[in-house]
Every structure is written in C-alpha cells, then in structure tokens.
Structure 1
Amino acid sequence: MAWGAPARAQSSRVQALYDLCRRTFPSPSSAASPPAPPPASAVRAISSLMDTISPADVGLRDDSLGDGGGGHGFFDSTFVKGAARASRWAQPITYLHVYECDAFSIGIFCLPTSAVIPLHDHPGMTVLSKILYGSMHVKSYDWVEPTVLAMKLAKLHADDVLTAPCPTTVLYPQSGGNLHSFTSVASCAVLDVLAPPYAEDAGRICTYFNDYPFSSFCK
C-alpha cells in the first residue's frame, strides 16, 4: 500500500524528503541486479534533511504512543511479517506507513518503553534512521568477510543509547551496522528510509539472528 506522493504528510519537510528520495534512489533494474549504494553526497543530503524533521512534521506528539498503547498498526511488508513470526516484541509496536515503491520506502516505527525489535539484517539495502523523540538502545554489527568458519562471524559496530535530538544514522549493505536490534529505553519513534525496501521476490528478505560471543566457541 502506498499513497503515491505522500499527500497526507503533515509538513513540507516530508514532501521534500519524498522528492529527494525520488531523485536519489533509482528503481532496481532487475531482481538479480540490486542497485549500487547511492553517492555519499546524496546520502548526506537526505541525512541532513531528516535531521530537520520533528514529530510535529509527521503528525506526532512526543507522547503520541505512550507506554501502554500502540498495537500492530502494520502494513503488508516482508519486514513486518517476519517480525510477527519472530514473536519477540516486548510490547506492541506501531508502524506508520508513509510511502513505498520499488526504489525506496518511508515509514515510522513507534515503540513504547521496553519494546524490542530483534537483531535483523537489511540485505543489499541502504537505511537511514532518525529518532524523532524518545530514547533507544541500538546494538549493531557488520559481517566479517570472507567467512572463515561454518558459522558466520560479525563484528560489533555500535552498542549505544541514542536520545532525541540526535543525528540521523546510516547503514549500507556491507557497513554501518547492517545487522541491528533496537530496545526502547523510553517511548520513542523512528523515521526510516529503506533503499530499496524489503522484497522477497528480489531476495531482500528480513532474517533474524541470535548473537553469541566468539569466546563461547573457543572453550
């Protein structure tokens, strides 16, 4: 489901984000040929614009969700189906769908306090995330290449608590913390741009992982 251009957007900043993404992210030419990551200058432009977007710009208040509300306001997407199957949500999480096409998607995750999005990946994707309000713990990894063991190794990229206002974060297909998990420290909302979005027929399937310290395999 998509709105076309985000006609219901509350702010010209959201319209500007849509316009900039349309200019930046080309549609994949084929399922077997994922698009190359966009130029760094283009990513910086989108990141800088997202830094200016506030909860009011997307029709939210800092207390829009609260700690007991929410519910699975999800739209039909590979990520959401996988998350539901994982059955590891600490509390209900709401997803607000803004726009989606073959090239990119824009959406907002609203997490009540202590809600968890488990460790998952973004295969072949560039993802920009902006915390609109609240605070969350982010733990992320990048794969270690080439694989040297039967079990894939990943190296820690970040293990931090981020509190709004803070800069937009960016991850790339091979770097920047492509595998990550979120735990809300306080009720929060996150604006996400995924380029390209999850697509099962193109092989961009959300996979969930368990992380184990390497030392546990060296005894």
Structure 2
Amino acid sequence: MGIEQNSSGGKGKVSNESKKNKRRQKRSSPVQRLYETCKEVFADCGPGIVPSPEKVEKLAAVLDGMTQADVGLRKDMPFFGSERAPIITYLQLHECDKFSIGIFCLPPTSVIPLHNHPGMTVFSKLLFGTMHIKSCDWSNEVDKFNNTMANAIDPKSYPDGLRLAKIKVNSEFTAPCKTSILYPADGGNMHRFTAKTACAVLDVLGPPYCDPDGRHCQYYYEFPFAKFSDENTLVPEEDKERYAWLMERETPEDLSVVGVSYNGPKISKK
C-alpha cells in the first residue's frame, strides 16, 4: 500500500515514490486514468478471457465518471450535425493487442447495425445524447429450437445459417447513464446502436478486433421470431418477443464510418 516501515520501528512513513505516484495521479487527466486502468484490467486477459469482477467494476467506475468534456467533445462539433447522417465518425484514442479505446460520434438517425464482438469484453459509455440499443446473445436452447423447427417446418421455408438469439436489451438510453458491459457469451454480445439525437459513445474493447486472429466484425440480419416459427416451437407465447432469428450478412453497404484524428487530452504511454 505504499507504506514503508522505518528502521526505528515507528508507525512508518509514506515513501517518496508513493508520494510522487499520488501527486501524479492527482495531475492525471480522466483520459490518462482510463488508459492506466485499462492497462491494469486487461493485463492478464486475452480472447475469451474476462477480467475479474473486481476489475470490471473498477473500469466501469472510471467510465461512469467520464464526460464529453474529458475527451474534448462538444455537441456543436461538425461530427454531430444532422446533415452528416448517416456518416459516423470514429476517434481512436489508443489500440494495442490487449485493448482499444475509441469514440463513436453519431449524428441523429445514424445507425451502427447489429454486429458481434467475438471473444471480447466491451465497455460502452454514452457521453451525451439519446440512443436506442438493441442487444442479444445466442440462445442456449438453440439446438433444441432448431431441431424442433426442422421437424415442424419445411426446411425450404427458412434460409441457411439462421440461428436463434435471445434479446437482452431493447430500450432507449439518455446520458448520463451507467456504462453498459457485454461479455464474450453474455450481456448482449451482438448489438445495434440507433442515434435518436446526436450521440457520442466511448468504447473500450478487450481485446480489440483482429482479422488475422479471427476476431473480425460480423454483421447480421434480424428476423422476428414469428417469421420462422409456428405453434410447434418450444417458446411460450409470452416469451416470443424475447427471441429473434439472426443470419450473417456482408458489411452493410450503407454503413459509413470515417476515422478522424483524436484531438482531445493526450495519453502518455510511458
């Protein structure tokens, strides 16, 4: 805890190095603290390896306290003008093999389509604006449902690659709100963002996407549960709204994400 016992057997004193560290922490910007926390949280993690609950809570707490001013954003910046829709701007603060930090700037009505985060733990903090988020995970009952569907429905009536997903979130969020967290197989690993107003989302991914390692961003078509189901499927009527059918698709042609240099408070990586 940064306390050294002195040779005289007294109660001890805070070391000079510890004092320097505390002064340095006080001077650190919120962005610097975020970077240092990410380094700690993801140090022993990798694809599919989730940080401990304590570390997840620590990083979420740092993000919960962050504001648009902490990253140098203003609502009147050109990124957020309604005339830019559907162009989305991405500001990259940092990326390494362990984690990435970036900001998505969404003008009103713009959409980040339903996509996945393979093997990743993801923290998303809405800095300002109102956004609709829909997220889902693959259903644990997918084999049972697919077998039932195959027996009950003409296979020609539904497309290949259709998989059952369970909807976790389907709501609007307005800043300030808590950081959302998703995990490799839970918490809504596949999600879609729809900007109801101009929005900014601070994203932390651990680890980041990496095509050579098989962590590429996959997009999905979504179909209502009822479209490929009938009375023989094993979902109670009251639960049918909690499920959807997903099918992989190519990157949507109308998705436009432009990378722009980040000009907010800098991160020291020493």
Q: CA deviation at 1:147?
A: 3.5
Residue 212 (str. 1) matches residue 229 (str. 2)? no
State the partner residue of 2:40. 23
1:20 maps to a residue whose letter is: T
Please give the residue correspondences for 1:161-176 in structure 2 after superposition, counting only pairs within 5 Å.
161-176=172-187
Match of residue 92, structure 2, among 97, 110, 118: 97
Runs of 5+ consecutive residues of structure 1 not aligned to the other structure: 1-10, 71-89
**Equivalent residues of 2:131, 2:194 under 8 A apart:** yes
Alpha-carbon distance, 1:66 to partner: 3.1
Alignment of 1:114-153 (within 5 A): 114-145=109-140, 147-148=142-143, 149=146, 151-153=162-164
Tell me the distance in 2 between the aligned counterparts of 1:35 and 1:28.
Answer: 8
Give the TM-score normalised by structure 1.
0.80
Candidates 67, 84, 99, aligned match of 2:81 = 67
Give yes or no for contact 2:108–2:197 (8 Å, CA) kept in 1: yes
Shift of residue 61, structure 1, vs aligned partner:
1.1
Given the alignment of the two structures, is residue 183 of structure 1 paired with residue 194 of structure 2, yes or no? yes
Q: Which residue of 2 aligns with 1:41?
A: 54
Identical amino acids, percent of aligned pairs: 49
State the Cα distance separating 1:67 from its structure 2 match. Answer: 2.2
- Give, in angstroms, the shift of residue 214 of structure 1: 2.0
Q: Which runs of 4+ in 1 moved over 4 A?
A: none
Name the SS for the 1:119 alignment partner.
strand
CA contact (8 A) 1:130 1:190 kept: yes
Tell me the CA shift for residue 115 of structure 1. Answer: 0.2
For residue 20 of structure 1, report the CA deviation from its aligned partner: 0.7
Distance, in Å, in 1 between the alignment partners of 2:83 and 2:205 is: 26
Q: Secondary structure at the match of 2:50?
A: coil
Aligned equivalent of 2:209: 198
Shift of 1:36: 1.1
1:138-161 deviation line (CA, Å, top 9, x unaligned):
000011135312621100100010
Which stretches in structure 2 are left out of the alignment for 5+ residues?
1-27, 147-160, 231-270
Shift of 1:167: 0.6
Q: In the alignment, residue 41 of structure 2 is paired with which amino acid?
A: T
Q: Which amino acid aligns with 1:200?
A: D
- Structure having the higher helix fraction is 2
How far 1:201 sits from its partner (Å)? Answer: 1.1
Once the two structures are TM-superposed, the CA of residue 213 in structure 1 deviates from its matched residue by: 1.6
**Any idea what SS the aligned residue of 1:186 has?**
coil
Which of structures 1 and 2 has the bigger CA Rg? 2
TM-score in terms of structure 2 length: 0.66
Q: Is the 8 Å Cα contact of residues 80 and 105 (structure 2) preserved in structure 1?
A: no
CA distance in 1, matches of 2:36, 2:205: 15
Q: Which moved more, 1:174-183 or 1:60-69?
A: 60-69
Structure 2: distance between partners of 1:138 and 1:47 = 18
1:125·1:196 contact (CA, 8 Å) conserved in 2?
A: yes
| Structure 1 range deviating more: 35-44 or 116-125 | 35-44
- Take 2:184 and 2:89, find their aligned partners in 1: how far apart are those partners? 26
For residues 129 and 136 of structure 2, the distance between their equivalents in structure 1, rounded to whole angstroms, comes to 23
